[in-house]
Amino acid sequence: MNIEHDITIALTKGRILKETLPLLARVGIEPCEDLSVSRRLIVATTVPRLNLVILRGSDVPTYVQYGSADLGIAGKDILLESGGAGIYEPLDLGIARCRLMTAGPQATHAEVELKRRVRVATKFVNVARAHYAKKGLHADLIKLYGSMELAPLMGLADEIVDIVDTGKTLAENDMAPRELIADISSRLIVNKAAMRTRHGSVRAIIDALKHAVTQQGPA
Ligand code: AMP
């Protein structure tokens, strides 16, 4: 791959990164150092002029929106929550699939439906607000940063809005999924200005990834 501008791609660390690296390798982009060992935050790649930054998922759209990173890879859950200003989302990479759902203890489901007012703990307050408003339910939203499953067990909330993959975490905490809010996968995102000013380089990366995803299916 030939890149004619300096380009930075912001990647989401953790589970998404594990599925992203094989996909990038398929288009010839490989980090020059072992990301599981290195503490470096900006990492050069085997493609000259192309660097990676490894971030918390919720920071990826921010870096891309402001143009500090030209492209990014982030979960649709994060993109729904952030609102996506200044960002194009040209490609569903089909990786890190999961569901964004409401969930809660089996016993309280009927109560919640009756109350018309529900206390909800979540990291995704904007998505949750829109979901409950659409249902005509008043939701008191409580922002948490992790272990959402704990909130109903401790009496902090009636329900949670969270990511569900196998459902094992919910089941082990005596909870069940309730309503699907959105099917989630990771998306390639692009800064709108970079799409114009660095068109050739950005397009080359989008096209290579599109080809890799459609030729071989999700990584
Ligand atoms: P599970 O027990 O398989 O339903 O996994 C649920 C937990 O894993 C949740 O607490 C999520 O935060 C996390 N998780 C699962 N899949 C993803 C994903 N694709 N992206 C981010 N977090 C995920």
Question: Would you report the helix, strand and coil content of the chain in percent, each value rounded to 5?
Answer: 35, 30, 30
Ligand 1 atom closest to 171 (CA): 2
Which tokens in the block code for residue 77? 């859950």
Q: Which pLDDT tens digit goes with each residue over 30-62?
A: 999 999 888 899 999 999 999 999 999 999 999
Ligand 1 — pocket residues by CB below 6 A? 15, 75, 96, 98, 162-169
Reply yes or no on whether the pLDDT at 122 is more than 70: yes
- Residue 88: the pLDDT is 98
pLDDT bucket at 22, cuts 50 / 70 / 90: very high
By most ligand atoms within 8 Å of CB, the mutation choice from 169, 170, 181, 187 for ligand 1 is: 169
* Percentage of the residues of the chain whose pLDDT score is greater than 70: 94
Task: Give the model's confidence band at 217: pLDDT under 50 very low, under 70 low, under 90 confident, else very high.
Answer: low
CA 49 – ligand 1 centroid, Å: 34
Per the structure block, which two tokens stand in for 91? 């490609």
Q: What are phi and psi of 65, to 5 degrees?
A: -60, -45
pLDDT at 113: 64
Centroid of ligand 1 to alpha carbon of 164 (angstroms): 5
Closest listed residue to residue 165, CA positions, set 187, 185, 142: 185
The pLDDT of residue 110 is 62
Q: What is the pLDDT of the chain when averaged over all its residues? A: 94
Interatomic CA distance for residues 134 and 131, integer angstroms: 5
pLDDT for residue 114: 67
Residue range 149-192, pLDDT digits in tens: 999 999 999 999 999 999 999 999 999 999 999 999 999 999 99
- The model carries a pTM of 0.94
94 vs 109: which has the higher pLDDT: 94
Half-sphere exposure of 159 (CA within 13 A, CB side): 32
| Contacts (Cβ under 8 Å, ≥6 apart) of 31 | 21, 43, 44, 45, 46, 52
Q: Sign of dihedral through CA atoms 204, 207, 210, 214?
A: negative
What pLDDT, in 10s, does the model give residues 71-104? 999 999 999 999 989 999 999 999 999 999 999 9
Element counts in the chain: helices (H) and strands (E): 9, 11
Per-residue confidence (pLDDT) for residue 1, from 0 to 100: 84
Which candidate, 45, 1, 46, 3, places its Cα nearest to that of 200? Answer: 3
In the predicted model, what is the mean pLDDT of residues 98-111?
Answer: 85
